[in-house]
Structure 1
Amino acid sequence: MASNSAKWPYKAHDITIGRGIQYGMLDLMGGGWNNIVSGVIFAYLTLAQGFNPAIAGSIAAAGRIVDCVWNLFLGLITDNFYKTKLGQKFGRRHFFMAIGLVLFACVFPLFWISSTSWVYYLVVYIAMEIIIAMMIVPWECLPTEMTRDYSQRTTLSGSRMVISATGTALVFLILAALKQAQNPNAYLIAGIAWTVLFVVAIGISTFGTWERPLTKEFIEELNSRPKQSVGEVLKDSIKGYADTFKNQAFRTHLAVYLLSFTGKDFYSTLLPTFIACCISGAGDSWPWTFQAMSILGIPMTIWCARLMITHGPKFLFRLSYVSILIAMIAYVAVWAMGIHNPFWIFLIVSIIYQCGRATLEFTPWNLFPFMPDVDYIMTRGDRAGLYASVMTFFRKSTGAIATWVAGILLELTGYKADTMKNFDTTPHNVQVGIVLVFFLGTSILIAWALWLSRHIYLDRETHGVLKAEIERLEEGGDKKDVSDEARKVAEELTGHPYEKLWPDLDKNGRPIEQI
């Protein structure tokens, strides 16, 4: 039953920067796709195809909801696919990546073909979400299988972050160039260009990576793991998700993360409509040119990594949110003053926004690795994967809700996508409504996140205190001997009295009393 480890997808290689890039290339599509969802699809369906915003928002939301549910099943399917002949020959992870590559090449261009049927776009969009998840979910499992070395896994994940930011910029640069050339088929040509770009990137990752060979020992290990039905997986997932909310540090972190990212979704979704319908003299390429300033996320990420050490997450959150709020006020001020053709003003404002956005995206996921340690002193369990799943699940859910709500709010302003294509055809009262939805939808969520971020106590110093206390307890230290500082930090981070932390274990290694 074991596969030939000398052949793809089981043949391992030394992990170098080059191999890290090969692994990370799939996130050129991942990062690009996420920004197509939040920044392009709504504008394409409304401004280009003339669908009412509520319908456009519903299409995007439906696809993301299907994606959330599909992800719960897909992990279980790929984990057990080694039992099939296809899984043994092509890999339990790489089989889905290879099939997804072929399906993506066939389906992705279809979305950019003009149609008057919203059902057509709904079906194709849901199919795209299913296909992309078929590649993303198994791909995210590969670092664990490619190497057990921490530094080598860091090489793989670090390459991914830079490539993802590159994919975001390329998506908008391609569309901006076509719009600037006033190409009547800009979206279709961009869709084909994105398809070619993403297919090459997916292919590099699919055939440049490997997974753990199905040796006799590994198969025995896999078969020894507890078997769960789909129902049991869903039940355990719901219970696990609920357990994470007992962690006060994580509750605050998740709230800040979801509020800020949902605010970012409002911005990306509504910026094209705001510029097209509310700004005098605006060009078709403007929204995509301004979004392409996301390329600044690459150097900004490097700078943020340094600031995370020297100033901590609170500072980064504040820097991010203040930058975004300044940008939002500037956008509305330009509209209110009636400035004609404010391209260079908006370019500067967009640079400020994109620097804030890059900081916003960097901080939560770089603070996240500390969260499982807070859970560990509460439960003595290793549940990092559970916390990552909760963040991903709720992020996708709120992303779907944001687009849907944005569409409904635009509908309520009286905006008609089929007739209101630019500044001259959009009545002033509708412009006011669009501006209010764009500004308030983004700014309220970002301001709320800014306010909540002051309750984030987990940083390098407090984590050091927590980690030292965990190590003391692991070495057999008595809970009665806890220092005042360690007690205070542990209680602030967990939200529970110290006496309830670090529970005793039964003979099976499970906590006797759970919080």
Structure 2
Amino acid sequence: MKNTRWVYTPKKINVKRGVAYGLTDLMGGGWNNIVSGVIFAYLTLSVGLNPAMAGAITGIARIFDAIFSLVFGTVTDGFYKTRLGKKYGRRHFWMLVGLIGFAVSFLAFWVPATAIFGPGHDFFYYLVVYTLTEIFVGMILIPWETLPTEMTSDYTKRTILSGSRMFISATGTSLVFFILAILQSLPSAQAKKNAYLFAGILWTILFVAAIFISYRMTWERPLTQKFLNELNSRPKLTVGQYIKKTLHDYGQTFTNSAFRKHLAIYIFSFTGKDFYATLLPTFIIVCIGMASNIPWVLNAFAVFGILSTLLAAKLMITHGPRFLYSVSYIGIIIALIAYGLTYFLHIKNPMTILIIITIVYQLSRGILEFVPWNVFPFIPDVDYIMTRDDKAGTYAAVMTFFRKSTGALATWLAGILLSELGYVSTATTQAAGVTDRIAWLFMIAPMVLIFIALAVSWGFKLNRKTHDVLQKETKRLENGGSKKDVTPEAKVVAEELTGHPYEKLWPKETYEELETEHSKK
């Protein structure tokens, strides 16, 4: 089958092409920080929603999105069978649909609900629009993340495509807060009142332009007859069989000891980060009593996360993930304590101190975000000696599902706790003791979560050395080596990483083979 459309026309992959591909993560990084750091503040401080209701909006929407993300990848995988998929690309078609939907819903989110429906409809308006935005973002990011695999099979070229994401994502994070900080700093009262709307317009233009460039400068694997035969030869499962296999694969990931620890570290640390981002504007504006633009000025120091990421890339090789986890989490705990002391010691004119504390936090946050997804590629290798199956996609889906779910619950819970502590978003002055309680919540909640991640990381054994030992043992078994000839070191490493006796590793038959035999009977 010959298709000469641009979406099926490969081009030379170089740094310029890598940047073009990575531009979508300008929205990816920016959007994640808008969700965790801006939306709650906008709904409480600007719209005036009760904090519990504001948290419920992001919580409910992200749970819907988490479920949507679990099935949408499969939708794009099979979309090549449709006329639209063949003509516009099974991945690019959905990127374009998501882009159009995102441009409308994201912009609509910053338009006051009262301007459209009048008073009394705020909660349902923002819930519906925000949920739609999350779904459209998923439509863009899920197919976009498959494009390096579609565009080339060369490891180095894929690295060029994926490598730009890290820095573009961090740039998106800084731009989001920088734009809002400038708009909140304008002297005009009218400009300050509409700062979120103007920021929303600028963010929409910026993100849509970036995504469109990625959309037009990337391509998919041509639908040759050979490739179509390969796609069509894959096992065809009924809905029941697909659900059964998916649930089995998801459940089996939790029998992997290294993954259980990795997931716990990832979830607790990122959820702690979510609590920080959600509560920081309230802490700075309500507790410290600073201007409304200051939280966004401080968050713009996220650019320092790029510097720590560059350093972490080297330390990952020389010192391993456990060292980096300790450096990151201890740095964040120190920053949180320093924020609390700034409030409780009633330091006057604390801006300089807050900047220093924030730089420490952002340097630590950069490492926090860098390490888990750099450890992740080694996790499926642990599973492989357990199951002899390739389930990298399954592990990624489980991580994404739990990340989105816990991130949603963090914002929701933060809103409920603020409400229970007596915080009233529409009040110019809070009741006695409320600011103290908010300050304790801001300091303790993320600190507890980060400390749990730190404690779990102390027992994390997967690193470059243990991975090399595991890989050598796997290769030996693949080449027909006997399990009886395992070395003491390989046996200990395999058992520590998997959490299973060596005798139960490297099964004679995979789950898929057993299912095939069962279906024949």
Superposition TM-score, scaled by structure 1 size: 0.95
How far apart, in 2, do the equivalents of 1:413 and 1:46 lie? 15
Instruction: Please give the secondary structure, in 1, of the residue aligned with 2:507.
Output: coil
Instruction: Please give the secondary structure, in 2, of the residue aligned with 1:9.
Output: helix
How far apart, in 1, do the equivalents of 2:80 and 2:474 lie? 38
8 Å CA contact 1:504–1:511 kept in 2: the answer is no
Q: Percent identity?
A: 56
The answer to whether the aligner puts 1:306 opposite 2:310 as a matched pair is no
For 1:355-392, what per-residue CA distance to the aligned partner results, in whole angstroms no more than 9, with x for missing partners? 11000001111111111111111111111111111111
State how 1:336-355 maps to structure 2 within 5 Å.
Answer: 336-355=344-363
8 Å CA contact 1:145–1:211 kept in 2: the answer is yes
Match of 1:96 among 94, 97, 103: 94
The answer to whether the aligner puts 1:295 opposite 2:303 as a matched pair is yes
The residue type equivalent to 1:54 in the other structure is A
Q: CA deviation at 1:427?
A: 3.0
8 Å CA contact 2:381–2:471 kept in 1: the answer is yes
Question: Which position in structure 2 is the counterpart of 1:272?
Answer: 281
Higher deviation after alignment, 388-397 or 74-83? 74-83
Instruction: Please give the secondary structure, in 1, of the residue aligned with 2:458.
Output: helix
How far apart, in 1, do the equivalents of 2:54 and 2:420 lie? 14
Question: Which position in structure 2 is the counterpart of 1:38?
Answer: 36
The residue type equivalent to 2:179 in the other structure is I
The answer to whether the aligner puts 1:226 opposite 2:231 as a matched pair is no
What runs of 5+ residues in structure 1 fail to find an aligned partner? none
Instruction: Please give the secondary structure, in 2, of the residue aligned with 1:382.
Output: coil
The answer to whether the aligner puts 1:72 opposite 2:77 as a matched pair is no
For 1:177-228, what per-residue CA distance to the aligned partner results, in whole angstroms no more than 9, with x for missing partners? 1111152210000000000000100100100100011122222222222223
The answer to whether the aligner puts 1:286 opposite 2:294 as a matched pair is yes
Higher deviation after alignment, 120-129 or 178-187? 178-187
Q: CA deviation at 1:506?
A: 7.5
Question: Which position in structure 2 is the counterpart of 1:27?
Answer: 25
Question: Which position in structure 2 is the counterpart of 1:327?
Answer: 335
Instruction: Please give the secondary structure, in 1, of the residue aligned with 2:193.
Output: coil
Question: Which position in structure 1 is the counterpart of 2:151?
Answer: 146
Instruction: Please give the secondary structure, in 2, of the residue aligned with 1:228.
Output: coil
For 1:228-257, what per-residue CA distance to the aligned partner results, in whole angstroms no more than 9, with x for missing partners? 344543332222111000000110111011
State how 1:167-178 maps to structure 2 within 5 Å.
Answer: 167-178=172-183
Q: CA deviation at 1:428?
A: 3.8
Higher deviation after alignment, 168-177 or 84-93? 84-93
8 Å CA contact 1:332–1:439 kept in 2: the answer is yes
Match of 1:431 among 416, 435, 455: 435
How far apart, in 2, do the equivalents of 1:278 and 1:327 lie? 17
Question: Which position in structure 1 is the counterpart of 2:116?
Answer: none
The residue type equivalent to 1:33 in the other structure is W
How far apart, in 1, do the equivalents of 2:265 and 2:512 lie? 37
How far apart, in 2, do the equivalents of 1:87 and 1:508 lie? 29
Instruction: Please give the secondary structure, in 2, of the residue aligned with 1:418.
Output: coil
8 Å CA contact 1:66–1:126 kept in 2: the answer is yes
The residue type equivalent to 2:218 in the other structure is T
- Structure 1 residue runs of 4 or more that deviate by more than 6 Å after TM superposition: none
Higher deviation after alignment, 33-42 or 70-79? 70-79
8 Å CA contact 1:3–1:88 kept in 2: the answer is no
The answer to whether the aligner puts 1:135 opposite 2:133 as a matched pair is no
How far apart, in 1, do the equivalents of 2:53 and 2:241 lie? 35
How far apart, in 2, do the equivalents of 1:376 and 1:32 lie? 35
The answer to whether the aligner puts 1:482 opposite 2:480 as a matched pair is no
The answer to whether the aligner puts 1:197 opposite 2:197 as a matched pair is no
The residue type equivalent to 2:18 in the other structure is G
CA RMSD of aligned residues (A): 1.6
How far apart, in 1, do the equivalents of 2:155 and 2:72 lie? 26
The residue type equivalent to 1:432 in the other structure is D
How far apart, in 1, do the equivalents of 2:76 and 2:227 lie? 15
Higher deviation after alignment, 401-410 or 227-236? 227-236
8 Å CA contact 2:180–2:296 kept in 1: the answer is yes
For 1:407-447, what per-residue CA distance to the aligned partner results, in whole angstroms no more than 9, with x for missing partners? 11001001011114xxxx12341112211221111000001
Q: CA deviation at 1:72?
A: 2.2
8 Å CA contact 1:279–1:341 kept in 2: the answer is no
Instruction: Please give the secondary structure, in 2, of the residue aligned with 1:213.
Output: coil
Cα 1:345–1:237 change in 2 (3 A) is same
The residue type equivalent to 1:350 in the other structure is T
Higher deviation after alignment, 117-126 or 229-238? 229-238
State how 1:315-464 maps to structure 2 within 5 Å.
Answer: 315-420=323-428, 425-464=429-468
Higher deviation after alignment, 465-474 or 166-175? 465-474
How far apart, in 1, do the equivalents of 2:185 and 2:207 lie? 23
Question: Which position in structure 2 is the counterpart of 1:211?
Answer: 220
How far apart, in 2, do the equivalents of 1:141 and 1:242 lie? 24
Question: Which position in structure 2 is the counterpart of 1:494?
Answer: 498
For 1:37-57, what per-residue CA distance to the aligned partner results, in whole angstroms no more than 9, with x for missing partners? 000000000011110110000
8 Å CA contact 2:389–2:510 kept in 1: the answer is no
Cα 1:230–1:435 change in 2 (3 A) is farther
Cα 1:457–1:433 change in 2 (3 A) is same
Cα 1:495–1:475 change in 2 (3 A) is same
The answer to whether the aligner puts 1:263 opposite 2:267 as a matched pair is no
The residue type equivalent to 2:405 in the other structure is S
For 1:254-277, what per-residue CA distance to the aligned partner results, in whole angstroms no more than 9, with x for missing partners? 101100000000000000001111
Instruction: Please give the secondary structure, in 2, of the residue aligned with 1:455.
Output: coil
Question: Which position in structure 1 is the counterpart of 2:259?
Answer: 250
Question: Which position in structure 2 is the counterpart of 1:15?
Answer: 13
The answer to whether the aligner puts 1:236 opposite 2:236 as a matched pair is no
How far apart, in 1, do the equivalents of 2:223 and 2:256 lie? 38
Superposition TM-score, scaled by structure 2 size: 0.94
Q: CA deviation at 1:395?
A: 0.5
The residue type equivalent to 2:162 in the other structure is S
Question: Which position in structure 1 is the counterpart of 2:162?
Answer: 157
Q: CA deviation at 1:479?
A: 1.1
Instruction: Please give the secondary structure, in 1, of the residue aligned with 2:8.
Output: coil
Q: CA deviation at 1:451?
A: 0.9
The residue type equivalent to 1:329 in the other structure is I
For 1:473-499, what per-residue CA distance to the aligned partner results, in whole angstroms no more than 9, with x for missing partners? 112221111111111111111111111
